[in-house]
Every structure is written in structure tokens, then in C-alpha cells.
Amino acid sequence: MAEIRLPKARRGRPRQAEVARLAGVSQTTVSLVLSGNKQGIALHPDTRARVLQAARQLGYAPDPAAQRLAAARNDLLGVFSFTATFPTDVAHSYYPILVGVEQEAVARGYDLVLFTGSSSAPARAGRADALDRVRLADGCLFLGRHVPADELRRLVEQGYPAVHIGRRDELDSLAWVGADYAEATAEVVRRLAALGHRHVVLVCETDEALASTDRERGFRGALAQTGLTGEVVRAADPAAEITGEWVRSQLAAGVRAFVAEETDTCAAWRALLTAVEDAGLTAPADLSLALLGAPPADLAHLPEPTGFDVPKAELGAAAVRTLTALLTAGAADCSPLVPCEFRPGRTAGPAPHP
Amino acid sequence: MAEIRLPKARRGRPRQAEVARLAGVSQTTVSLVLSGNKQGIALHPDTRARVLQAARQLGYAPDPAAQRLAAARNDLLGVFSFTATFPTDVAHSYYPILVGVEQEAVARGYDLVLFTGSSSAPARAGRADALDRVRLADGCLFLGRHVPADELRRLVEQGYPAVHIGRRDELDSLAWVGADYAEATAEVVRRLAALGHRHVVLVCETDEALASTDRERGFRGALAQTGLTGEVVRAADPAAEITGEWVRSQLAAGVRAFVAEETDTCAAWRALLTAVEDAGLTAPADLSLALLGAPPADLAHLPEPTGFDVPKAELGAAAVRTLTALLTAGAADCSPLVPCEFRPGRTAGPAPHP
DNA sequence: TTGTACGCGTTATCAA
DNA sequence: TTGATAACGCGTACAA
């Protein structure tokens, strides 16, 4: 098999000094000409031409490392996720977000550095701790709620530009972007109200995620606003508590609309679907169902749930915008909420008149 | 909306000099300790401990630009793709390759920088330095055949360590890794032969991709090896040329096995499937079908095609191995071919005895 | 065992 | 209009 060998002349790369020598000017002048003369300094056209000619002749290209050292920035944005950025199993976890991150970063002239917290790199002596490593980038995005709070706090308090994707309240001064779960949930309730529903039950899991409390807040707010009555059921073990019997009793009490929150496992939603089936009922004929988020991939064959979609790409893009604002202006709005899009779906319909 | 402001005092990242001041040593000592003391210089354990402690306390992380400028290395590997790395159209996304790249890079102590040469970068569009940006990293992987050849050539000729993912012959001295399409295709033909087939037709598109010629070469080689007869059909417009009628005429000529190559669009495969259906036939009962690659996502509901899978993660890992060999040894095998895995599938079966 | 001095290639501030 | 000169942060002979 053939072999590729690197040319030994690694130092043979032309530098500004050599261009200067060829053009008969100083290296400073070369820098001035080649960097586009942003300072508006007057330059003799001949000098300019000679420099450009010499640079072309030598095939000069600036060394990005040197440029970035001098400019005290490297146009790098970090993306840190505690779980693997590219998980082998859950192929699509952060992917949609990364789409938005990359697009927005590219549009703003930044490159991306990927950091994975869970990765067990061979312990190289002197290597910075997991989170400190991100400092190599001008700023960093953090994904997922598993980012260690204390290390993150230190980073932020030392003035490192960081933006968390997903709500993160416990750290004051930490910028974050998140989806507007409250408003999206409220919209779902309003839609149900418009369909004639008077009673709505929200099924949650006991996971105390911030997104969960957001949804509950939006739920209660919309109830008050629309004059509906409703209840929040927090099930530690949805599969056990949300049964066909439970559904029947709710129907007996006049409830015709059930809303479940989306989680990693979507246990609440799954339990609800199973319970409805066990009760021998169908949506949207007998009752209405809604999912506060997107259904898991393995449920893709079922009728599309009424609910809302979190615009994940937009979330990533918003995070980049916030981070670059931090970078360039030194400040940014701390919590731009990205609106979710209502998804009509096919699991909710008019409330049967009693 | 509240505002997040970066602490003005702590602006900027900690440098070795500050670590040195905190530890009560010189900057040199800090550098020595943090870079792992490769020179084997004797260091007092206490000094070492103090430096490490100070570095951690300050959250020190080395500046990649400065490292690269001084030491000509920074343990960063670049990944350059001309099209977006995370395209909205998930179809031809590099995600599976990146999985392998990340794993292998992390295992070898490298971090990853994603460079996107997309045209949407405002300031850099069309500039010759689009590719030169990657020089910030010690070496770089290049994805896709759209990487501009002349810029890439310059990079390589100046001794920059680069590895192309996917076959790339037109540049001498450019290392690349690719899937072994020829052998994988040959294996498919051999399997068909083992099933009793005597005549095989390969349907290609007119796309002159290197992978396409590889497949054709493997096809012809296996024909000779197995004593089968066969034909290669290159269709400019598969949907128009590969019709039910065409299939019938092939069957009349004794052909019972059809093989299509995989492309971005998979037009050949789609045409073949449609044609077989139009002819009122079914695979594998009436004839055998094989796909040289993976089926597109929107055809996932169909029976799994017989054929082979390109181990994309392994491809990425192999690329990293080649690149790191280039970095550490200055040379590497130029074209490690990654073997593909035969996929039995359910579209090929025993040839009906005539 | 630790510190001094210098160079890497570029940009920026001043003098000339 | 141009050219010395000094950073930028880090690695490393060489000296102490």
C-alpha cells in the first residue's frame, strides 16, 4: 500500500516577512495591505500593488493561529454536553439543536468546538478539568441539565461567556435560552376550550424538571383565563396509576380532555394511550388527548398527537445569538423564550355534549 | 427582560503568568508542569502540586492559538465540510461518520473543531482563506467531494496534515480513507451466485462518482470470478428507462437478479422497485433485488434490501487513525479501505430454475 | 530545581 | 506614507 509522507518543508510556508522582502517593504506594510487597511491609513497604490503581487507570487496565506493570538480571540464557539454529543444509541437527541447551532454560528463567522463531558479521555497530565477545557473557545453553549452546577457557576462568575440551552434558574448570572412551555401549554388548553371542553386533566410525571413546572404554570394560567376547571395529576408510576379504570372514572366526572407532558421516556403519554385503549375508548371520538411536546420516535406510526412542537433548531440558533451578543457586547438578554408551534394533530376533537 | 452582564474585572481568560503568580513560581515552571514535563526535567513535587492547584483554582485552559504558534501543536483535530455538517436534510448528513470521528479522537486525546465552509459565511465567502482556517488545528479531516481541489492541494503541498473521507484520487499526496465498495459489491454478486443466479444486471446512474466506478469494478471482477454473465446499465433517467416493460424483457432474457447502486437520491433503486411492481412481480419470489448501500430513510418501511452497509462510524475512526499517524509519524498508509458488511436483507432469494 | 530570554506570525501604536 | 517596536500566550534552550 502506498504511503503518504508529509513534505519536510513545514517551515517553508511563506510569512509576511518574506512577502515584505520580495516587495521591498516592511513587514508592517504587508500586514497593513493584506488586512484590508481597516484603519483607513493612506497607502501608495504602487506599494499596495507590489505587496499584493508578491503575496500572490509566494502563495501567501495568513496563519490563523497567529492572527487569533494577536486578535485575542479565536472565533470558536464551544458546545458542551455532559452526555455524548454523538450518542450511539439515541441518535437524535441533540441533533436538531445542533442544526440550528451550526447554521447560526456559520452565519456569524464562528467555528464550533465539540466537548463531551462523559468522554473518558486518557488522563493527560496537566489537562484541564472537564469543564475548564471549554475555555479554549471564546464562549460556550451548554446542553442538558446534567452539567455540574458548581463548575458551571465558577466558569460564569469568572466572566466566561456561557449560555445554557434549556431553562436554568438556579444560577443567577447564567444566561439561558428555552422553549416557552408555559405559553405553548396555555395555547393547547385554549384550543381545547375552543373545542367545547370544560374540564381538562394534566398528567405529569414526578420528575421535577423546570420545563414541567413551566407547563403546569401555563396550564393553570390558561384554566383561569378560559374559565375551565382542571386538575394536575402527578404520577410517580404512570403505567400503574393511569389505568383504564382511572380514565373511566374521570369520564364519569365529566372530563373529556387529557393532556400529558413530554419527557425523556414519555411515560405519562404512553400510560395515557394504553389506559384509553384499555378502557375501550378512542380519541378523538370519545375523548380528546394532547401531548405537550413531540411524540417519541417509536410512536411515530400512531396518529399525530395534538399538542405543540419545540422548534429545536431555532432554540440552538437563539442560543448562538445570545452567546455572540455576550461576546461582542458583553451583555445579552438572559432568557429569550423561543415560542413553540401548535400542532393540530388528530387526537383532539369537539367535546361530546353531555 | 433581565440582562446578563459579564464581570468586567475578570474579562479575559487566565494565562500561565497569572497561574505562576498565584503559585509563586515562574511562568516557565507553569508551562513545564502543565505540558506534562515531556522533557523529563526534574520538578519538585510540591511545586508541581502548587501549580496544578493554582491552575485549577483559576480555571486555566491553554490558548490553542498560542500553543500552536509556539509548539506547532495544540491537540486539536479539524473536521471540514464544505456543505453543512448538520444539514437540515438529514439524508446526507455526516452524523454517523462524526460518531466514529469523535470516539476515536477522544480516545487519542484530541478535541474536535468543526469548520464549515458553507457559502453562507458572509465575510469569508469566496475568499481563498476559507480552507486555510483549518490551520488552527494540528490536522484536519475533509468531508465530501465538494472540497475545492486547488485550495486543498495547496494545503497538502505545504505539508499540512490532511485526510479526506471518501476516495479522492485526483490529488497525489492526499491521504484518504474510503469504503471498500469494490469488495462489498463483489460479495453481493458472489451471494447471488450462491443462490443459483447465472445472470446479473447492475443498474447505475450516470453520476460519475468514484464510488460508482469502484462498484462497477467489483461487479465485473466478481462476474469473472464466479463465471456469471452480467451487464451494467447506466441510466441517465432511471425512472424513464427502468420500466416494468424493461424488467419483463430482462426476465425473458433469463435475468433473475438486479442490483442497483446507492446514491444521494437512490433514483436507480427507486426506479427498480417501481418497475418490478409495475411488472406485477415480487422479490424475492419472482426475482432477486440487491442494493449496493443503505436504503434512504423514506423507504425504511419496505422490506430490508439485500446488499451491504457502509460502516460510517468505522470510516470516521479510520480517518482519525490515519490523520494521527500523519501527525505523529509524518507518514501513513494512504488509502485504508474499510470493509463493508453484507446485509442479507429480504429481497434476494434462490434463482427460480428455468 | 527554577528562572531568564527569546521566538513563533500577526496586529496595533506610535515615530519618522 | 512607511517602518521600528511592542504586545498576544506559550514552549524551550540555556543559564543560574
**CATH, residue A148:** 3.40.50.2300
Nearest nucleotide (CA of B18 to C1'): D9
| Residues 6+ positions from A347 with CB-CB distance below 8 Å | A283, A284, A288, A289, A290, A291, A303, A304, A305, A306
Domain-located, residue B71: no
The percentage of residues in chain B with a pLDDT greater than 90, rounded to a whole number, is: 64
Residue A8 lies in a domain: no
Domain shared by B321 and B172, yes or no: yes
Same domain, A206 and A277: yes
Write the pLDDT tens digit of every residue in B186-217. Answer: 999 999 999 999 999 999 998 777 888 999 99
Nucleic strand D under 7 Å from the C-beta of B10: no
Do A227 and A170 share a structural domain? no
Q: Is the CB of B265 under 7 A from strand D?
A: no
Question: CA–CA distance from A332 to each of A105, A164, A318, A323 (Å)?
Answer: 17, 13, 11, 8
Q: CATH no. for residue B57?
A: 1.10.260.40
| B175 & B186 share domain | no
Confirm whether B11 is domain-assigned. Answer: no
Give domain status of residue A11, yes or no.
no
Q: What mean pLDDT value characterizes chain B?
A: 88
On whether both A164 and A53 belong to a single domain, the answer is no
Same-domain status, A216 and A281: yes
- Relative to beta strand B288-292, strand B229-235 is unpaired
Which residue is closest to A99 within chain B, CA to CA? B86
**B positions 68-107 inside 8 Å of A (CB):** 68-69, 72, 74, 76, 84-88, 90, 95, 98-99, 102-103, 106-107
Same structural domain, B185 and B278: yes
* Residue B128 pLDDT exceeds 80: no
Does residue A71 lie within any of the structural domains?
Answer: no
A330 touches chain B (CB under 8 A): yes
Which of B3, B5, B6, B140 is the best substitution to test chain A (most A C-beta atoms within 10 A)? B6
Cβ distance of A63 and B52 shorter than 8 Å: no
pLDDT at B120: 46
Question: Which portions of chain A are predicted below pLDDT 50?
Answer: 1, 8-11, 88-91, 120-128
A203 domain residue, yes or no: yes
Question: B205 and B263 in contact (C-beta within 8 Å)?
Answer: yes
pLDDT of residue B265 exceeding 90: no
- Number of structural domains (chain A) is 3
**Strand C and chain B: which residues 10-29 have CB closer than 7 Å?**
24-29
Evaluate the CA torsion angle B132, B60, B112, B324 in order and state its sign: positive
Give the domain range for residue B221: 181-309
**Predicted pLDDT at A314:** 96
A305 lies in the same domain as A208: yes
Taking residues B26-43, what's their average pLDDT? Answer: 86
Q: Measured between CB atoms, does A123 come within 8 Å of chain B? A: no
On whether the CB atoms of residues A151 and A129 are closer than 8 A, the answer is yes
Position A3 in a domain: no
* C-alpha grid cell, residue A232: 394536575
> Is position B344 within any domain?
no
Place of cell 415480487: B282
pLDDT at residue B220 tops 90: yes
- Do B119 and B196 reside in the same domain of the chain? no
Pair A41, A119 in one domain: no
Please check whether residues B84 and B175 belong to one and the same domain.
Answer: yes
- The answer to whether A63 faces chain B, any CB pair under 8 Å, is yes
Q: What is the pLDDT of residues B293-315, one digit of tens each?
A: 999 888 988 999 999 999 999 99
Same-domain check for residues B237 and B133: no
